Amino acid sequence: MHTQRTLDEFRNEPFVDYSQPENADAMRAALDKVRSELGKEYPILINGEKIALDSKFTSNNPADKSQVVGVFSEGDTNTDLVNKAIDAASEAFKTWRNVPAAERAEYLFKIAGMLRERKHEFSAWMVFEVSKTWAEADGDTAEAIDFLEFYGREMLKWSGEQPITPYPGEKNKFEYIPLGVGAIIPPWNFPLAIMAGMTMAAVVSGNTVVLKPSSDSPTIAAKFVELVEEAGLPKGVVNFISGSSKTGEAMVTHPKTRFISFTGSKGVGLHINEEAAKTRPGQIWIKRVVAEMGGKDAIVVADDAADLDAVASGVVAAAFGYQGQKCSACSRLIVDEKVHAELMPKVVALTNALKIGQPTEGDTSVAAVINKRSFDSTLQYIEKGKAEGGVVLTGGSGDETNGYFIEPTIIDNVEPGSTLEQEEVFAPVLAVIKARDYDHALEIANDTEFGLTGAVYSASQERLERAVRDFHVGNLYLNRKCTGALVGVHPYGGFNMSGTDSKAGGREYLLQFMQGKSIAQKI
């Protein structure tokens, strides 16, 4: 074991600069390699056994609908598979929980190294499966590496001696032990980073898991599971099932599931929380739910914002990066009416300069939304925004001839409390709301059931400090955009209907997968 590696201080994985010809060439080569591997079939994996079912579904490229990325067994057709996977994970837990933390962490460091070596290839899979542009895909891969490196190091800290108060006549210690079998249900929008982070945080803490990826992004999860196998992780520690909500439901409600780790929509998250709260026959614990849900994130622009060009740049990056399909995306721009007329032409000009196209092309800045359902609902939201008095400044339409493309859309004059101002669209649609003053802007920003990310642009330190005190979000950014949280730097998770404020990439994240045990010995 290369102990030295575990002692290095955590550093974020640097992003790839594709303006360098050698990096662009490497990415094109990776895209060609992945293109030659499209359409392969990936099995369910339970206790190291590969299982193929007769019933299949395909994962298709959202930017080229006819292109099949991967073929998968439909786990929903065989509910016994969930029982089998949870039994396998329960059996593996008996030994895995006793593997020293340093050894468990070493697997994460090893997988991170393998991922680093195949960085462009994993990014290329995301280009095809979820229509990420080169930079967005690279950011996702870098974050996956970060999660592995960070959680490995954090586990070493939590497994060390914990501070307690000494007491005469006793030898006392406090330690953290794992929970058991976890149901891991990650989203499609960060199909490598969040999936790998959720899975391996549970694993490094000593738990075993059943992983069911989104049926919009199963190929990337299957590729990661191949990496986990290659790294030599014991059988049954990570089990992989492809399927839809029926499979997820069976995992959530199973009496042997000890915890559920979920990232996705508010509706599904609340349903999981409700089902997990019910005690089933044979269940001997209260299940723990770790949930990261949606957002209706706002960037507030005060009348004293120093540099409106920088503001416009931050807004456009946060609103339209990855087609607005981030739970941290800026979907509300709340502008003091005194600077509205000066700011909006800058925002519109930058938006119009974005290049819509195939994500395989290096100069594309906006690609397709994830699927037909998203495409249809986004256009409905745009129509609803117009019907409620909004004015489309740019965009407003879509094209689904070959893929699910929607123009980056800015809707001005959106009223506080209206549908477009309140509901998460999860697409390239920005609602612009005018505020009378800074107080009014903060009031609008907080008047939502969500509380994930937010940003404030102001030259006044006093106003920024008021935002720190009063802007009720889990991740607040001052004089910068509201997307781009870095592991370890910006622990990530939100309040209210945005979830359990789980703080992925933060110091206490692993504590959600462990429980405390106090040991006292009389001497």
Give catalytic residues, as residue numbers.
292, 327
The three-class DSSP label of residue 97 is coil
CA distances 325 to 220, 388, 391, Å, are 17, 23, 22
Beta bridge partners of 310: none
Q: What is the DSSP letter of 179?
A: -
Helices 245-253 and 266-277 meet at what angle, rounded to 10?
30
Q: In the structure encoding, which two tokens stand for residue 331, read together? A: 């979907």
Count the Cβ atoms, other than its own, within 10 Å of residue 56.
13
CA distances 450 to 234, 271, 296, 346, 472, Å, are 40, 17, 6, 28, 9
Q: In the structure encoding, which two tokens stand for residue 344, read together? A: 């909006």
How far, in Å, CA of 37 to CA of 34, rounded?
5
Q: Is 226 in contact with 117 (CB distance < 8 Å)?
A: no
Q: Give backbone dihedrals phi and psi of 16, rounded to 5 degrees, phi first.
A: -80, 135
Q: Which of 405, 433, 434 is nearest to 420 (CA)?
A: 433
Q: In the structure encoding, which two tokens stand for residue 361, read together? A: 């092309």
Q: Which of 84, 220, 212 is nearest to 140 (CA)?
A: 220
How far, in Å, CA of 345 to CA of 468, rounded?
29
Q: Which of 4, 36, 30, 19 is nearest to 141 (CA)?
A: 30
CA distances 268 to 185, 187, 272, 492, Å, are 11, 11, 6, 20
Kindly list the strands in the beta sheet with 475-478, ordered across the sheet, starting from the edge strand earlier in the chain. Answer: 391-394, 409-412, 429-435, 330-336, 297-301, 453-457, 475-478
The pairing of strands 44-46 and 405-406 is: unpaired
Q: Is 287 in contact with 257 (CB distance < 8 Å)?
A: yes
Q: Give backbone dihedrals phi and psi of 276, rounded to 5 degrees, phi first.
A: -65, -25
